[in-house]
């Protein structure tokens, strides 16, 4: 597996302070790495877009930190970790603009979602090879609107980028699975 992008220091600190188990840290690193690659693609192909890259990187790294409160959701479906993660970060002094990703990463369909929320959600899907058409179309519409370009043109480029990002999913899934769910 390629070397993963280093996590932001604030994200590492939050994960350590909350006692994140190895699998959760591995997941955050993998989603973060995909988010960084997505941000790089946006920067190269859509340089005029205004994106809070610091927020996206932090959000991608810690979006599931609430699973330290609900560890059963590390190996089974559940959504209790989402509000719990936001509360956990807020209680530790994380600014709301960064803590919000815990609560917004699953529910991208809400009208008030910012582009950064959509990008964290997208990275959280694509890291494992999942494609969500409604999410991708929201990102396409955002880019097309901001740049005054036809949506089909934006879609073609984003689709190619996401296909390339999704190609490493099997290796990423295996990497995450190699990490224990509990701390030693």
Q: 103-142: per-residue pLDDT in tens?
A: 999 998 999 999 999 999 999 999 999 999 999 999 999 9
| Span 152-170, pLDDT tens digits | 999 999 999 999 999 999 9
Residue 70: is its pLDDT beyond 90? yes
The model's pTM: 0.96
How far, rounded to the nearest angstrom, does the alpha carbon of residue 11 sit from its chain's CA centroid? 13
Say what percent of the chain tops pLDDT 90. 90
Which run of H or E residues covers position 9? helix 9-17
- pLDDT reported for residue 184: 64
- The mean pLDDT value for 70-78 works out to 90
- The mean pLDDT value for 61-85 works out to 94
DSSP characters over 69-122: T-GGGGTS--STHHHHHHHHHHHTT--HHHHTHHHHSS-TTSTT--HHHHHHHH
How far does the chain reach from its first CA to its final CA, in angstroms? 24
Contact 108, 95 (CB under 8 A): no
In CATH, 9-177 is 1.10.238:
no
Which run of H or E residues covers position 57? helix 53-62
């Amino acid at each position: 597996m390629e070397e993963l992008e280093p996590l932001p220091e604030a994200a590492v600190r939050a994960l350590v302070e909350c006692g994140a188990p190895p699998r959760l840290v591995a997941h955050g690193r993998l989603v973060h790495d995909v988010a960084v690659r997505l941000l790089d693609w946006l920067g190269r192909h859509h340089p005029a877009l205004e994106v809070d890259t610091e927020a996206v990187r932090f959000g991608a790294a810690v979006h599931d930190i609430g699973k330290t409160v609900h560890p059963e959701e590390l190996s089974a479906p559940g959504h209790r970790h989402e509000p719990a993660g936001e509360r956990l970060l807020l209680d530790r002094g994380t600014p709301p603009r960064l803590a919000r990703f815990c609560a917004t990463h699953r529910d991208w369909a809400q009208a008030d979602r910012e582009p950064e929320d959509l990008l964290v959600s997208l990275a959280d899907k694509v890291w494992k090879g999942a494609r969500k058409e409604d999410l991708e179309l929201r990102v396409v519409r955002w880019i097309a609107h901001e740049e005054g370009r036809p949506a089909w043109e934006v879609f073609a480029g984003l689709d190619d980028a996401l296909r390339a990002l999704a190609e490493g999913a099997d290796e990423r899934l295996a990497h995450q699975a190699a990490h224990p769910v509990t701390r030693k």
